[in-house]
Structures are given as structure tokens and as C-alpha cells.
Amino acid sequence: MKWKASKISTLRTWALLLVFVGMGVMVFGTSGILLFGEVGKIIAAIFMVLGIISCFISMGIYFWVGMLSTSAPVIDCPECGKRTKMLGATDRCMYCHTILTVDAEKATEGAEHLTKSGNASDAPLPTQT
């Protein structure tokens, strides 16, 4: 599945979506002034607050992802050879979207190949730095 992304990229995408939604809500609320006159100011204020809340939530997600990203192990992708960050036991490469794992039991292709050749504990896992 080429369209799947890594966990860090997915969280960043949701944060960016929240920024756009927040800005859109604020612009939509501002149009209330033009359409409804005096009552539109109250509508604009409500939508402005909702948009700001959405932007603050987005800022919180960006901060959280940044903190996760600093503690995530950096590994070399066996498929494309680029260095990528990995969250959890399984994740996807940020560049080629290959499913990566550090747990030999969760590996699909490599575990079957290793059980035929001998010991599964000799599995070549992605290098961590």
C-alpha cells in the first residue's frame, strides 16, 4: 500500500489539517458580519474562538510530534537505504513507505525465510543509531 505513511508524517498531516480547518472557520465566521449585520459580530466572535482553539490544538500536536521525533530511534531502511525514524514496534519508512519492524515475530517476509534457513534469532534487523 503505497499511500500509507509513517506515524510521524500522519500526525503532522493531521496537525496541518487542523490549521487549515481553524483558518477556514475563522474566515467563514468573518463572513457573518457581512451577511447578518449586528448579529454577525457575535457569530464572527464565536467562529473566531473556535478557529483559534483549532489552531492551538494543532500547535499542541506539532509540539507533541516534535517531542516524539527527538526520542525516536533512527534506522536505515532496508528497501531504499535512507535513514528514517521509527515509532513503536512497527512503522513505515518516511520515504518509500516500506513496513519496518524491530520485532522478529512481527516480520512477515523475513521470519518465514529465516525459519527455513535456521535460527530466527540471527535475523538482520534494521540498524539503530
Cβ atoms of 57 and 18 within 8 Å: the answer is yes
Task: Report pTM.
Answer: 0.71
Which has more pLDDT, 97 or 117? 97
* Residue 128 confidence (pLDDT): 55
pLDDT in tens, 14-53: 999 999 999 999 999 998 888 888 888 999 999 999 999 9
% of the chain surpassing 70 pLDDT: 79
